[in-house]
Every structure is written in structure tokens, then in C-alpha cells.
Amino acid sequence: MKTKIYLVNFITHFILVVVSLSCIFPVFWMISSSLKSQEEIFTKMTLLPAHPNWSNYILAWTRAEFGQYFLNSAIYTITGVFGIVFISSLAAYGFARLEVWGKRFLFYLLISTLLIPIPGVFVPLYLMLNKMGLLDTRLGLVLCYVSGNLAFGIFLLRSFFEELPKEIEEAALIDGASRFGIYWRIALPLARPALATLIIFNSLSIWNEFLLALVVLQDKTKMPIQRGLMVFQGTHITDYPMLMAGLTIATIPVIVIYLLMQKHIVKGIAAGALKG
Amino acid sequence: MTKLSRDKTINLLFILPALVLFLIFNFYPLLRTFQLSFHEWDGIALKMKFVGLAQYRHILTQNPAFWRAMGNATYVTVLALTVQNGLALLLALLVNREIRGDNIYRTIFFLPPVLSGIVVGLIWKWIYDGNYGILNYFLASCGWQSFANYSWLSEIKTSLTAVAIVHMWKGFGYGFIILLAGLQTIPRELYEAATVDGADAWQQFKHITVPSMIPVFTVVAILTILGTMQIFDLIYSMTRGGPAGHTDVPITRIYEYMANGEFGYSTAMAVIFGIVLLSVSVVQIEASRRLNNK
Amino acid sequence: MSRRLLYVLMLSLLLPAFASCSKRASSPKADVVIWHWMTDRQASFEKLAAEYEKEKGVRVVFETYAPSEVYRDKIRAAASGKLLPEVYNPLGDKREMASFIKSGYIANITPEMEKGWAKAFYPKPLSQNTFDSSNEFGVAPGIYGVPIDVSAIEIYYNKDLFKQAGLDPEKPPQTWDEFLEAGKKLRSAGIQPFASGFGEGWLIGVFAASYEWNLLGKQGLIDTYKGKIPYTDERWVRVFKLFDEMKQSGLFVSGIATMVNKDAERIFATGKAAMALNGSWGVNVYYTMNPNLNYGIMLPPKLKEARYPMAIFGGEGSSFNFNPLSPNKEKAVEFFKWLTEKNQQIVLATETRNIPANRDAGADLPPILKTFAENINKTFDPLPVIEDWRVTNIKNLGLQAIIIGEKPSAQVAREVQAEKERQEKDKQK
């Protein structure tokens, strides 16, 4: 019996380790390339740089004026994610639990944006922003981000809300709680894993977003970090070490957010609520 | 007004903010784009020419390249639904068991989605490279000399699958997180009670895990289908749709037409593509609904 | 109704509004704004702009948007919102340029050019910014843009690798048969002969075009585009067959069918291929990758049976167009008159290793660039008609299929002709 458990454990860890290595390798390569010189990257295909150029990071930061872009990206991501989480969870709860006029129709309408990929839709969007005077404004860009990501949030959260045990909510209703109170105090906390997921995904998507920001914003002082990376991509020559350094810097915040959020995708919260 | 209909109206307020934003920033541009699909426009000219359904007819009957691209995307999607999500589920189940170091694994598995498409495309292109690729180096040193200069991305037989593998590698992290979150919301007591009743791991999986996870599976399946059918960045950075169109997908076709001044036509292609995806998703959602209510 | 609900609603909509409160950066208003895609030249541009401001008091600002696909999207969006800067370039083909002109986004600068400005340039790049009276696009004849440099596409070859294979590094192949022979010799010496970004359709088209001009000549091409000569004509099939011959002689580097030019450049720069089809910008690229590379350039080797001279792709490098809707258009034109003067052109040429558009600046170029400059007169003449992009696309894809051995050249010729006939029929509807 013990050998069976041992074997299962061994296989489990083996699979996990192999997959992990394949995930780490590119990050390792990215950092390793960022420490090489341009010539080295093209002439020698070694795993580790001969003389690590840590100064590449400082150069990348100053040349790409990262400080400003970093702050902008942070603003867009934080406000965008807040907006998405609140608005989509409200709507998702409405779709999951409440009686509303034309519920089914509205639901499909709202998630239809997920389903119709129109790359060219940014042209009418741009024209409309222009007419509304929202072009080259932070507000305009954030509103685009929020509305663009609502569908996914509503879709994900509705499934989670539907799966929550109805008893607690019904008990609260009998106790006289308002619908909003139930949403705010019961449903939201129970859906913490789903909310954390949403925060992670949307932070990633807004932080990495490039095209809309580039087209909507004219003022350099408002541009996000992906714009800063453009500096390293020339017409014919790409400054690979700098680009890799820049990409590494740009990747770190998302990993940090992920580390903070993934704590919430942890067992025990749901169980705890049931017991209480 | 009855209490129910008054409630129904108040409850609308929950959905209102989302609805308003949607109507202004999504729906209206969508309508305009839809309108565009009935016109011939090069993206610049001040006047558009109305052509009715002509472009739609052309796509449905005279554009085999578009449907081949659809087929390519479908192939990758089927692979993603089975291999990618299977892997994600397996990993989620393993990590869910609270083994040693599960925190570290959770962080690592999320790295591929976090990486920018540029990095992923570059690295895998390097791995697959016929001349310097590490894959061929590895195979050759294992004795398979015939692969010494094989260009995985340039040969018809392997190019699409090679790109599919990269897509799955980059995407499994998303499925992993959602599935893990779903697994975490299943109350532990159910499993404990089942163990007391004498059920083994497989039975617990079949009777507790699977039924509770059906809505989550549906979500993951739909997101996989939508995300994979719309694959673009990787194809563009690795093969440009080549060799000779064997890795073309609908979005690369749409972009190509747009870049060549066929805005109206490419929009029509996008609308047709959207309708296909919409139908598939609606069917899935309804099917899952029915399965759940049983 | 719960107050909480109200608070949450307001909060989620107001947060973005708070985010937009920021002090506007107060930079002095620019007189002339130029949008470009050449990141590597930003520093040189800024230096020259500063000089100009000191001299003339006019403030010129260069803004980069890269890479070029992204630049194109930005231009198109700005055009539809009428928010284009003083100077830019749509980076499209002649048909797109015509569309911009007809919509009033590009100014006709023939009057300024005729006052003597035009004489400074090589004729080719200028003619690529010109629409003549026989053009099929419906554009009023005239000059619509100004070139700041020129480029051409030829074949680079690695002298050291040539020597290694027993080939004379100072006498590269002059004819097609010599070319195939050289390929075989390189292969047997264990060297990969030929690389290029053939994963990018246009580059295959460029190589094929040299031979199309060689075999069919200018009128032959015009006749084909007008539908008078079919693609199944034996001359066209011969052009397609050339790629098959290259394949049979083992000329192609592994993976060439999906290779982008950047990778081909890397392969040549690191000495893994003996020849590379690339543009004059390659001089700068190879220098940054491997300054010790010992190479020369050669024209595409001509066919024995060809009746017309060998021509190469090029002429135009980078050009700029002017926005007629801007009040500062005159200032912008004045700036470019200054920028294309001999001294400024020499600065740009030396700092960015490109061939200047100004003829007088060509005398002091380093040897390789000088050879390129001397060959500028061999570039294709601009044609009054262009082929439908779908037909060109099928042709380029067909050539890729020949390279990977999927289809024989006769079949590709038939497919291209079929597409051509389909387009002709559609046009008549």
C-alpha cells in the first residue's frame, strides 16, 4: 500500500516538474538574452551570457522612459480592473439570481462581444471617441478597456454565482436583507476565487494591451508601458538585449499581481462560509 | 404594479451599468462595422460603395482559401479542447491535492500566459529552427540524424501542429487557473463524506467532481474555442500563415484583406466568422444548461 | 433602493475620471510634427531638427511609431479622424497612395518641386512619388512626396565562404547557370548557399520580378497586367521554373519558405549562408550584427535567353508626404527642402548607413553603398498599372509551394491565370 502512494506521488511530481521546466525555460532565456550584447545573441547560441550586462536594465529603463509609462500602465490597469470587477459582478449576479425583464436576451447580447471578433472595430470606436471628445484622454481609454472586458467577466461570474448554494441567500432574504446587501456581503465573498481569477486575467490583458492605447492616445505622457517597448523595435534592426530587458521589466508587475491574487484561489474560504 | 414586476425593474439596475457601457462602446461600433460589411471601402476614401450581400455571397461561394483557414483553426481548436484542457485539468487536480510546493507550481504554470506573444513566438521559433534549433540538436544527439536540418515550421506536414503546440503551451495556464478555482469551490465535506462511505478516488471524481464542475467545464470549453479559433499573434510571428498558406487562419485572412484595402470585404468575413462562433457557443451554453438541470 | 448600490455604481464609474486628472505636460507647441517608423534614425532626426530650430526658429518634432504595421494602423485611424500630422507616409502601394490623394490627405507638391528642388534627386525615387498622365488610378498627374533616401535589393555574398568552396570571391556568378553551379559547389563544401525572407510573400515577388523584367520587359509586364498575356505563357512558366531549379540545385537554406527577412539577415550575418537577397539597408543591419563580415554584392545573375536587361527592385527608400489640411504645410515643405540638401543628407547617410536620395551626396559613400548607389539606375521603371493584389498573392504563394516541392511550375502558372481570369470577370460585373 505504501509503495502505491509513493509511486503515485512520484509520478505526480514528475509530471509537475517536467511541465514546470518547460514553463520556466522561456523566462530564463528571456532574462539570459537581456544580459547579452546584440552581437552575442546573433553569433553565439549559448544558454548563459559570457559577461552579464546588468547595465542593460538601467539603459532600457532610461532609453524607454519607463518611469512615466509604468505609472500610466498602473493607472489604467488598476482603474480598469476595478471598473470591470464591480460592473461585471453586479450584472452577473443579476443574471444569475434575479428576475429581470428580458434576462436571457440581454445576457446573450452582452456576451456577444466575446463571440464576434472584429479586428477592424477599432476604427468606428476611434471615430466615436473623437466625436465624444474622449480621444487622447485617459478616461476614454479606460472606458474602452472596461467595456471590452465586461463580457468575459459576466460570463465567468454568472457560472460561479449560479453554483453557490441558495440556502444562505434565502436565509438572508428571510432575515430582511436587501438584494444588494446579499450581493455585497454574501455572494461576492463566496466568489472570491472567481474574482481573483478575473483580477488576474484582466490585469494581464490591460497591462499588455497595445494597439488601442497607441491609436487612441496621442500625448506621449499618457502612453502605457508597451509603447515604451516600441523604442527597441527598429525598421530593420531590433535591439534584442534591450527589448528583452524591457520585456522583463514589463512582465514583473503582472507576476506580482498574480502572486498576490492567487492566494485567494485557496481552499477553505468556501467551506468556512458554509460552516458559519 | 405587482411586487414582482417592480422587483424586476429595480433588479435591472444591477445590469444597467454594464448595459450602458456595452451599448455605447461595443454595440454601436459593432453596428457600424456591420454596416461596413455591406459596402466596398478601402479604409481611406471619403465615399463608400454599397454592394448589398455581394461580398457575403463571394465569401460563401468563391473564397475557398477562407474556409481552408477555418479548417486550420478548427484543427488547432480540437487539439486545444482535448490535449490542452486535458493537461490543464490534470494539473489542476494534482495541485488541488495540496501536495508539497503547490504554491510554487501554481506560480510557474501561470508564466506562459503572462509572457508577451513576442517572446513566446521568438523562443519557439528558435527551438523549432531548422538550422540552429535546439529541438533538432536534441533529436540528433538521440540518434535521429534525419531530423538534423528539418524545418518544423516550413514543412507542410508539421507546420500547423508545431504552431498548435506552442498555442497550447501558452494557453493551458488560463484553463488551469479557472479549473483550479472551480475545484476549490467544491466543499471538502463532500469528499470526506464519500471517503467515509467507502468511495475510492475514481468514484469520487466521477460522482462529485465532474457534476459540480460541469458549468466550469463549459466556461473553459467555450473560452478555449473562442480563444483558439481567433488565434493570430503566434501564427503571424512564427509562420506568417505559411508555408504556402498551410497555417493560415481566419484572422490572418481578415488582416490580409484589410491591409490590401478591402475593409468592407474583410468585415463581412469577420461577421460570418462571428456567426459561426456565436452558433457554436449558444449550442454549448444551452446544452450545458440542460445537463445541469437534470 | 440601497445606498450602497448607489455608492458602488458611482465609484466604479468615477474612478476612471479621477485617473484622467493629471496635469497636462506643457511642452512648447510644435510647428511641424512628423510621424515616422524609423526608430533607428530618431536620434539623428532629433539632432537635425535641433539644428534647424537654431537656424530658422521653426520647431520640428519627430515622433516614432514602430513597427511599420502598427504605424500604418495609426495613420489610417488618424486619417479617418482628420487628425494627421504635418508630415507622414501611408506606407502603402500606389493604389493606397492614390486613395489618400483623392481623399485630400496628401498634398500635390509639383509647384515646389518644379522650382528646381526636383533636380537634386536621383530620378527613380522621385518617379516613385509621381503619378504620370497615363496612370490608371484617376489621380491628377504630379509629384506627391519627397524621398529622403533610396534603396535597392541585390544579392549579398560572403567572400570568405566563397573562397572556402573554391569560388573566386571577386568574380561572383554572372549568369543563371553559373549561379546554379556555385550553389552546387557551396553545398558540397557543406555551406548553405542562399537565404532570404521568402516567408514574406513580397520578397519572393521581388526576386521573381527581376527575372520577369529580364524575360518579358516593361511592355510584357504591362500587357500581362492588362490581361493580354496569360500567366501560362512560356516566359512566365520559365520564371516560376527558376525556383524549382534553385531547389534542385540545393540552393535554399533550410526553412526558407517560412523565413522572415530578419532571420535571413541573421543567418547571413553569422556566416551560415553564403548568399542573401536583401536590400541596401542590410549594410547597416549586418554591421550591427557582425562588423567583421567580409562580403560583396552582385546583381541577380541574368538568364542566357533573356532579351531585356536585368533590373532590380528599388529606387525608393523612405519618402514623406505632406498634409494639405495643416496650416503649417509651407513650413513643413521648407524643412524638407533643407533636410534633403547635400550636407544634411550626408549626415543621415553616414549615421544610418543608407543611400541618400540627393545625387550630390553620393560621392562620399563607403564602397558597398557606393556600388548600390551606382546601380540605382538599374531599378524597375514605375509602371502605370499594377496587378490585382489577389493575383500577386496567388503567385507568391505558388512560388512558396514550388520551393517546398508541393506543386510543379506549370500548375502554379495555371492557378495564377485562373485567379487572373476570375478577377477580370469580377471587374466587368
Question: In CATH, what number is assigned to the domain containing residue B209?
Answer: 1.10.3720.10
Contact present, B234 and B169 (Cβ < 8 Å): no
Residue of A nearest to B121 (CA): A26
Please name the residues between 28 and 57 in chain B that touch chain A, using a CB distance below 8 Å: 28-30, 32-33, 36, 43
Residue B27 falls inside a structural domain: no
3-class state of residue B48 by DSSP: coil
Which of C15, C61, C72, C280 is most worth mutating to test chain A (most A CB atoms within 10 A of its CB)? C15
User: Which residues in chain C are contacts of A184 at CB distance < 8 A?
Assistant: 4, 8
Q: Kindly state the DSSP code that residue B145 receives in the 8-state scheme.
A: G
* Closest to A191 in 3D by CA, of B238, C121, B89, B216: B216
Digit-coded pLDDT (tens) for C281-334: 888 888 888 888 999 999 999 999 889 999 998 877 889 999 999 999 999 999
Residue B217 falls inside a structural domain: yes
- Residue B239 is nearest to which of C199, C389, C398, comparing CB atoms? C199
- Sign of the Cα torsion C259, C264, C266, C270 reads positive
Residue B69 falls inside a structural domain: yes
Digit-coded pLDDT (tens) for B232-279: 888 887 888 878 888 999 888 888 888 788 888 888 888 888 888 888
* Closest to C394 in 3D by CA, of A30, B256, A191: B256
User: Which residues in chain A are contacts of C39 at CB distance < 8 A?
Assistant: 230-235
Distance CA C125, CA C149 (A): 8
- Residue B119 is nearest to which of A119, A146, A247, comparing CB atoms? A247
Residue of A nearest to B32 (CA): A124
Chains in contact with B, counting 3 or more C-beta pairs less than 8 Å apart as contact: A, C
Residue B267 falls inside a structural domain: yes
Contact of A235 with chain C, judged by CB distance below 8 Å, is answered with: yes
Which amino acid belongs to residue C13? L
Count how many pairs of residues, chain A against chain B, have C-beta atoms within 8 Å. Answer: 234
Please name the residues between 7 and 46 in chain B that touch chain C, using a CB distance below 8 Å: 10, 13, 17, 42-46
DSSP class per residue in B237-269: HHTTT-STTTT--HHHHHHHHHHTT-HHHHHHH
**Per the CB < 8 Å rule, is C12 touching A86?**
yes
- Residue B219 is nearest to which of A93, A144, A159, comparing CB atoms? A159
Q: Give me the torsion for CA of C371, C377, C378, C379, rounded to 10°.
A: 110
Which of C3, C12, C69 is most worth mutating to test chain A (most A CB atoms within 10 A of its CB)? C12
**Per the CB < 8 Å rule, is C288 touching A237?**
yes
- Residue ranges of domains in chain C, CATH in brackets: 14-148+317-370 (3.40.190.10), 152-314+387-428 (3.40.190.10)
Q: Kindly state the DSSP code that residue B131 receives in the 8-state scheme.
A: T
- Residue B44 is nearest to which of C100, C199, C255, comparing CB atoms? C100
- Residue A120 is nearest to which of B118, B120, B266, comparing CB atoms? B266
Distance CA C13, CA B188 (A): 38
Report pLDDT for C331.
92
**Per the CB < 8 Å rule, is C257 touching B125?**
no
What is the pLDDT confidence band of residue B34, given thresholds at 50, 70 and 90? confident
Report pLDDT for A270.
40
Report pLDDT for A271.
37
Please name the residues between 54 and 73 in chain C that touch chain B, using a CB distance below 8 Å: 69, 72
Show the cell assigned to B178.
Answer: 479557472
Residue B278 falls inside a structural domain: yes
Strand partners, C130: C143
**Per the CB < 8 Å rule, is B215 touching A163?**
yes
Please name the residues between 55 and 94 in chain B that touch chain A, using a CB distance below 8 Å: 87, 90-91, 94
- Residue A180 is nearest to which of C5, C16, C281, comparing CB atoms? C5
DSSP class per residue in B93-125: HHHHT--TTHHHHHHHHTHHHHS-HHHHHHHHH
Digit-coded pLDDT (tens) for A171-221: 888 887 777 788 888 888 878 878 888 888 888 889 988 778 877 887 778
Give Cα separations from A189 to A8, A81, A182 (angstroms): 35, 17, 10
3-class state of residue B47 by DSSP: coil
Show the cell assigned to A204.
Answer: 494581464
Residue of B nearest to C401 (CA): B244
Instruction: Specify the number of domains making up chain B.
Output: 1
* Closest to A118 in 3D by CA, of B117, B261, B30: B30
What is the pLDDT confidence band of residue A105, given thresholds at 50, 70 and 90? confident
Please name the residues between 141 and 160 in chain B that touch chain A, using a CB distance below 8 Å: none
Residue B22 falls inside a structural domain: no
- Give the closest-approach CA distance of A208 to chain C in angstroms: 15
Least confident range from B26-35, B139-148, C110-119: namely: B139-148
Show the cell assigned to C318.
Answer: 523612405
Distance CA B159, CA C385 (A): 36
**Per the CB < 8 Å rule, is A95 touching B15?**
yes
**% pLDDT > 70, chain B:** 97
3-class state of residue B182 by DSSP: helix
**% pLDDT > 90, chain C:** 48
Q: Tell me what the mean pLDDT of segment B152-156 comes to.
A: 85
Show the cell assigned to A259.
Answer: 502572486
Q: What's the pTM?
A: 0.81
**Per the CB < 8 Å rule, is A116 touching B218?**
no
- Residue A138 is nearest to which of C19, C76, C81, comparing CB atoms? C19
Report pLDDT for A13.
83
Show the cell assigned to C424.
Answer: 477580370
Q: Residue B37: is its pLDDT beyond 70?
A: yes
Contact of C255 with chain B, judged by CB distance below 8 Å, is answered with: yes
What is the pLDDT confidence band of residue C20, given thresholds at 50, 70 and 90? very low
3-class state of residue B45 by DSSP: coil
- Sign of the Cα torsion A22, A28, A30, A36 reads negative
- Residue A99 is nearest to which of B11, B96, B188, comparing CB atoms? B11
C355-389: burial string, b at 16+ Cβ within 10 Å, e else: bbbbbebbeebeebbebbbebbebbbebebbebbb
- Give the closest-approach CA distance of B46 to chain C in angstroms: 6
User: Which residues in chain A are contacts of C269 at CB distance < 8 A?
Assistant: 42
Contact present, A122 and A212 (Cβ < 8 Å): yes
**% pLDDT > 70, chain C:** 93
Report pLDDT for C59.
93
Mean pLDDT of chain B: 84
Residue B285 falls inside a structural domain: yes
- Give the closest-approach CA distance of C239 to chain A in angstroms: 29
Contact present, A163 and B185 (Cβ < 8 Å): yes
- Give the closest-approach CA distance of A136 to chain C in angstroms: 10
- Residue B21 is nearest to which of A143, A208, A267, comparing CB atoms? A143
Q: Residue A68: is its pLDDT beyond 50?
A: yes
**Per the CB < 8 Å rule, is A38 touching C289?**
yes
Which amino acid belongs to residue C351? E
- Residue C285 is nearest to which of A135, A230, A236, comparing CB atoms? A236
**Per the CB < 8 Å rule, is C267 touching B131?**
yes
Please name the residues between 153 and 192 in chain A that touch chain C, using a CB distance below 8 Å: 178-181, 184
Which of B131, B149, B159 is most worth mutating to test chain C (most C CB atoms within 10 A of its CB)? B131
Host domain of residue B215: 49-293
- Give the closest-approach CA distance of A268 to chain C in angstroms: 28
In sequence order, what are the residues at sequence separation of 6 or more whose Cβ sits closer than 8 angstroms to the Cβ of residue C330? none
Q: Is the ipTM of this complex over 0.95?
A: no
Q: Tell me what the mean pLDDT of segment C221-235 comes to.
A: 92
Q: Tell me what the mean pLDDT of segment C168-172 comes to.
A: 91
Q: Residue C1: is its pLDDT beyond 60?
A: no
- Residue A12 is nearest to which of B22, B94, B222, comparing CB atoms? B94
Contact of B243 with chain C, judged by CB distance below 8 Å, is answered with: yes
Distance CA C281, CA C68 (A): 15
User: Could you give the angle at which helices C329-339 and C42-56 cross, rounded to 10 degrees?
Assistant: 110
Residue of A nearest to C41 (CA): A234
3-state secondary structure chain C: CCHHHHHHHHHHHHHHHHHCCCCCCCCCCCCEEEEECCHHHHHHHHHHHHHHHHHHCCCEEEEECCCHHHHHHHHHHHHHCCCCCCEECCCCCHHHHHHHHHCCCCCCCHHHHHCCHHHHECHHHHHCCEECCCCCCCCCCEECEEECEECEEEEEEEHHHHHHCCCCCCCCCCEHHHHHHHHHHHHHCCCEEEECCCCCHHHHHHHHHHHHHHHHHHHHHHHHHCCCCCCCCHHHHHHHHHHHHHHHCCCECCCHHHCCHHHHHHHHHCCCEEEEEEECCHHHHHHHHCCCCCEEEECCCECCCCCCCCCECECCCCEEEECCCCCCHHHHHHHHHHHCCHHHHHHHHHHHCCEECEHHHHHHCCHHHHHHHHHHHHECCCCCCCCCHHHHHHHHHHHHHHHCCCCCHHHHHHHHHHHHHHHHHHHHC
3-class state of residue B230 by DSSP: coil
Residue B211 falls inside a structural domain: yes
Return the H-helix or E-strand segment holding B167. Answer: helix B156-184
**% pLDDT > 90, chain B:** 12
User: Which residues in chain C are contacts of A39 at CB distance < 8 A?
Assistant: 288-290
Contact of A148 with chain C, judged by CB distance below 8 Å, is answered with: no
> Alpha-carbon Rg of chain A, whole angstroms?
23
